[in-house]
């Protein structure tokens, strides 16, 4: 998809054509106005910009983004280089660049939000973030801590990934679960379908999906990682114990032991193969199934999140832009963030509805990639149920470390394997306390 701003052809417009174009501009004007209104600062011309980016889960999005960056570079006279690295490998690269004091001008935190860890070495982007909030409505309250430290914005949220329930209508209806809505419905379906060769599966392992899935369940059962300040731990609760108990039953009744060795892609394969009765995964799994097994895809539906006994919450995965202080081209990096934010609709379309926006006005229906698809249209309300790790506290460096050390999924794994819930709580809280104490001391 080519952005009209980036056309390299010289315009051949007559006066009549000009009047016609300006007339059309009134009708379709919002987009064109937005595109032309921003003029890149002249001093950017002849500079270069190196961007460190993740490899998007929807490969077509990377193709679009690379092209977007290239056209933006042609328009502004900036030589752009976009390097893609898988999200799990990014922290090692950040560490190397931080140690060297050199590297990419513009970087990208995916899921593992390291704003709190590196903010002393990141450029203050408050003007940019606050400008975006003015232009496109307020930021989702839960997202602020992905970019803010001490009230200043050191990262600009780009989009978040939603992790809904993907379920097989034909299979669930065959056991009388016609419209699954709660975790109990999902448990019942798995219990009845496992003997028929259609179990479910959620990762009991060290991978991103394990962090999301079990946290979503935990939050739906009323479990809370900290208080709203993020300073005091509140995970040791009867709600957390209930969530652990439920997960153990869900595993015993509806899963097979292979889930202990699953990675992020395993549930995609499980769904696409036609085996799973439901999985809890990003819509990239939905798209994989669409591309590889049309028959199964026809029967695959999307539930934004199952309701728990206490809450209806889904843990999203935030993605954030940031700029190193040692960047050689801060103005170009800021201009690029602004431009990509101005093209959120095209970005969301290119990601096939995967990139969920953080800004309020970007939830105007129909949303690109979602509004036109009956199965996905319910995700247009996803901002109302989305929270992030550390809930209900902010995504502090301590919460981040708890996330990256997989303590919460490990607690669920221990219980699923038969460990005593009280002993597991004791172990988990000990690990988490150690991390929080270290961060408080530091």
Partner 1 sequence: MATVAVATPYRAPRTERAKSIRRHVLIYLGLLPFLGLAVFPIFWMLVTALKQEPDLYRMDVVPFWFHLPPTWKNFDFLFHRTSYGDWIVNTMAIAFWVSAITLLTAVPAGYALARLRLPFAENLGIGIFMTYLVPGIILFLPLARVVSTLELQDSWWSLVAVYPTITIPFCTWLLMGFFKTVPFEIEEAAMVDGCGQLGALLRVVLPVSWPGLITAVIFSFTLSMQDFLYALAFVSVSDQKPVPLGVATELIRGDVYFWGSLMAGALLVGVPVAIVYNLFLDKFISGITGAAIK
SS3 132: helix
Question: Which of these segments, 18-26, 88-96, 385-393, 403-411, binds partner 1 (CB under 8 A)?
Answer: 88-96
Question: Which of these segments, 92-100, 218-226, 233-241, 417-425, binds partner 1 (CB under 8 A)?
Answer: 92-100
What's the rounded Cα separation, in Å, for the pair 33 and 253? 57
57 binds partner 1 (CB under 8 A): yes
265 binds partner 1 (CB under 8 A): yes
158 binds partner 1 (CB under 8 A): no
SS3 384: helix
329, 48 Cβ separation under 8 angstroms: yes
Nearer to partner 1, 203 or 362 (CB): 203
81 binds partner 1 (CB under 8 A): yes
Task: Classify residue 364 by its DSSP letter.
Answer: P
214 binds partner 1 (CB under 8 A): no
Instruction: Annotate 15-83 with DSSP letters as a single string.
Output: HHHHHHHHHHHHHSHHHHHHHHH----GGGTT-EEEEEEE--SSHHHHHHHHHHHHHHHHHHT-EEEEE
Instruction: Annotate 109-128 with DSSP letters as a single string.
Output: EESS--HHHHGGGB---HHH
209 binds partner 1 (CB under 8 A): yes
Question: Which of these segments, 6-14, 130-138, 258-266, 331-339, binds partner 1 (CB under 8 A)?
Answer: 258-266
Nearer to partner 1, 83 or 130 (CB): 83
Omega of the bond leading into 366 within 30 degrees of 0 (cis): yes
374, 211 Cβ separation under 8 angstroms: no
Nearer to partner 1, 47 or 55 (CB): 55
Which burial class, exposed, middle or buried, applies to 25 when counting CB atoms under 10 A from its CB (0-12, 13-18, 19+)?
middle
Nearer to partner 1, 98 or 260 (CB): 98
List the one residue from 23, 41, 46, 101 that touches partner 1 (CB under 8 A).
Answer: 101
Question: Which parts of 163-202 interact with partner 1 (CB under 8 A)?
Answer: none
The residues of the shown chain that bind partner 1, judged by CB under 8 A, are 52, 54-59, 62, 81, 83-87, 89, 92-93, 95-97, 99-104, 208-209, 263-265, 267-269, 272-275, 281-282, 284-285, 288, 291-293
């Amino acid at each position: 998809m080519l952005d009209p701003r980036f056309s390299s052809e010289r315009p051949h417009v007559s006066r009549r054509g000009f009047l016609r174009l300006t007339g059309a501009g009134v009708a379709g004007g919002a987009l064109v106005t937005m595109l032309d209104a921003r003029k890149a600062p002249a001093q950017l011309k002849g500079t270069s910009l190196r961007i460190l980016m993740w490899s998007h889960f929807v490969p077509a999005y990377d193709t679009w983004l690379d092209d977007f960056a290239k056209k933006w570079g042609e328009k502004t006279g900036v030589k752009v280089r976009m390097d893609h690295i898988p999200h799990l490998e990014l922290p090692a690269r950040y560490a190397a660049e931080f140690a060297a004091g050199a590297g990419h001008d513009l970087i990208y935190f995916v899921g593992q939000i390291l704003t709190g860890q590196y903010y002393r070495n990141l450029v203050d982007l408050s003007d940019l973030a606050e400008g975006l909030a003015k232009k496109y409505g307020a930021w989702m309250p839960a997202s602020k801590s992905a970019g803010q430290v001490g009230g200043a914005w050191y990262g600009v949220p780009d989009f978040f990934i939603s992790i809904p329930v993907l379920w097989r209508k034909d299979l669930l209806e065959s056991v009388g679960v016609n419209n699954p809505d709660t975790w109990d419905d999902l448990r019942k379906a798995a219990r009845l379908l496992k003997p028929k060769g259609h179990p479910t599966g959620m990762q009991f392992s060290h991978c991103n999906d394990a962090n999301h899935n079990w946290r979503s369940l935990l939050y739906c059962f009323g479990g809370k990682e900290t208080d709203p300040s993020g300073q005091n731990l509140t995970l040791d609760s009867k709600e957390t114990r209930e969530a652990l108990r439920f997960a153990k039953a869900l595993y015993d009744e509806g899963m097979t032991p292979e889930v202990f060795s699953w990675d992020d892609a395993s549930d995609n394969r499980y769904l696409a193969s036609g085996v799973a009765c439901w999985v809890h995964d990003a819509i990239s799994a939905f798209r994989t199934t669409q591309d590889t097994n049309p028959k199964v895809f026809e029967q695959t539906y999307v539930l934004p999140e199952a309701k728990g006994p206490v809450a209806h919450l889904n843990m999203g995965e935030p993605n954030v832009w940031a700029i190193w202080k040692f960047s050689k081209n801060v103005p170009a990096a800021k201009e690029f963030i602004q431009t990509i934010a101005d093209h959120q609709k095209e970005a969301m379309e290119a990601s096939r509805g995967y990139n969920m926006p953080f800004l309020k006005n970007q939830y105007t229906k129909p949303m690109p990639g979602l509004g036109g698809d009956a199965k996905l249209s319910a995700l247009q309300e996803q901002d109302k149920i989305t929270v992030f790790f550390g809930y209900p506290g902010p995504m502090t460096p301590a919460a981040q470390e708890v996330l990256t050390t997989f303590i919460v999924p490990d607690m669920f794994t221990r219980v699923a394997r038969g460990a005593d819930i009280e002993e597991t709580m004791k172990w988990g809280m000990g690990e988490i306390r150690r991390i929080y104490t270290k961060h408080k001391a530091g």
